[in-house]
Structure 1
Amino acid sequence: MAPLVLRTVAETAAWVESLRRSGRSLALVPTMGYLHEGHLSLMREGRRRADVVAASIFVNPTQFGPNEDLSRYPRDLEGDLAKCASAGAEAVFTPEPAEMYPPGFQTSVTVGEVSQGLCGARRPGHFQGVATVVTKLLCLFKPRVALFGEKDYQQLQVIRALERDLSLGVEIVGMPTVREPDGLAMSSRNAYLSPEERHRALALSRGMAGAQALYQGGTREAAALVDVVRRELAAAGLREDYVELVDATTLKPLSAVTPGLPARMIVAAFAGKTRLIDNQPIGG
């Protein structure tokens, strides 16, 4: 069955109220559309955790910088709605930017330490845009649970922090990155890659696998683990944006992995003009 398409805040609030009166619980999956199996895995998990699943499809302009890819970000609403139906979403919120940010809009949400560094340093204002739109969506839908992919790992930690700090009462669930059979992390931006760039992009996952193998062999120093990833990126002709080994919760850089304390290798690099991100747990 095709999902109910909600286009305004008012009709969405009415739908959420009817759901509340019926006593059914809600899982929310916020997206920017151009859906892939990673998004659909979130919706299927949402069905397991709640009575009803809703998704949002909104290419949020406030999280794009002036030289980023807002105008060319891939869109396929008709295909996305069909995919939402296949994953069991009952409703999809697809607002226009003016609906989310009407004239006079002047409020923003800023998350502190966890949004610093990594993508936060390279994309000024990005996480303020993410935090603001996600806060709006959580307040509008009032879900029991909201699901996000771990591929955008810093984003996930920002959202966990804002939910905790603002006492929104929503369980934030991070789901494992879904990968292509050859290891490439699924991403809407993969559509930008030429066949040759896509092949070179495998260096991200290959480098992190090499770092994990080095850790399993007994290496604990961050510099050595990071160097494995950097060498793979360089060999593939990718332009490194950053490679860092960080605490999995605070995202603070580590000098070494402490057994029993979760760490993450977090990577961003350019294949041609396309910026790709990935991450993987190390140790823990």
Structure 2
Amino acid sequence: MYNDRIATLLAETKKAREALVKSESRLLRDAPDANSGDYLRNYATCLLNRQVDIYDDAVFLLNGGRVSSACIVSRGMIETYAIAKLIGDKIFKILSEKDGAESLDECDKVLLNFINSSRIKVSEQEKLRDRIFDPNEYTFTPEALQRMESSLASNEHVMNALRNLYKFEMKTTGAKESRFMMIYDILSEWVHPSQTSVFHHYTPETHMITTSHGPVHLHTAAQLNCLEALHFITDSMNMHDWLISISEEMSQRAIRRRLEGWTDMLRAVFP
């Protein structure tokens, strides 16, 4: 049963991966015509690229018999998909409920929180605030120093994205327990130094596990959970296309706002 499921997942994910192509993102800082939608489009491209890399690396590790490392890598597939869904949900909600400049301002704030999300940068600005270090003793760009002094960095915690994904799954399926959460939690056992990743992994006598489906090898079960996580790549393109459609709506509103600004300026000059 396990081997059949593994074969099915591998075939489906391989087919999905073959249809995906990585694309380079753009540095928009110096692009005068860049608007809010362009930034979301850039971010969506980066998220898709990351999912492609995670899949390729995890399968490479599985093929090399490095099951433990494959589990560590493949968990990132669920996290990346969850982040893509959360930013899409948040911006879509704003665009659905509000219009005009107000909607774009709120969308921009959400988008920047995700793009600039960095736990270490938040930690740096907290240390600067608490005078734990003197910025004059280090080299910072003016932008970095301004960010720290103004506490502009954010940290969009991945657990919020995962909870959002689990909630959506249970609402869709009607289940009382999230299957995605179970897969993530099992892979987390391999990510952290735990009984599974340390003692069981390196003790062959513990590798055969008694289950309701009969005896199953520890590494076979791990491989299955890796592929269950990697299976999110079968919906990666749909998620990407959804984010692109949201970015197009943001771009249209940004263009309208710019045109309205020009119209107001002309009215002021030629009343």
TM-score category of the 2 structures, normalised to the smaller one: under 0.3
TM-score (norm 1): 0.20
Larger % of helix: which? 2
Q: Return the structure number with greater relative CO, CA threshold 8 A, min gap 6.
A: 2
Bigger strand share: 1
If the length of structure 2 is used for normalisation, what is the TM-score? 0.21
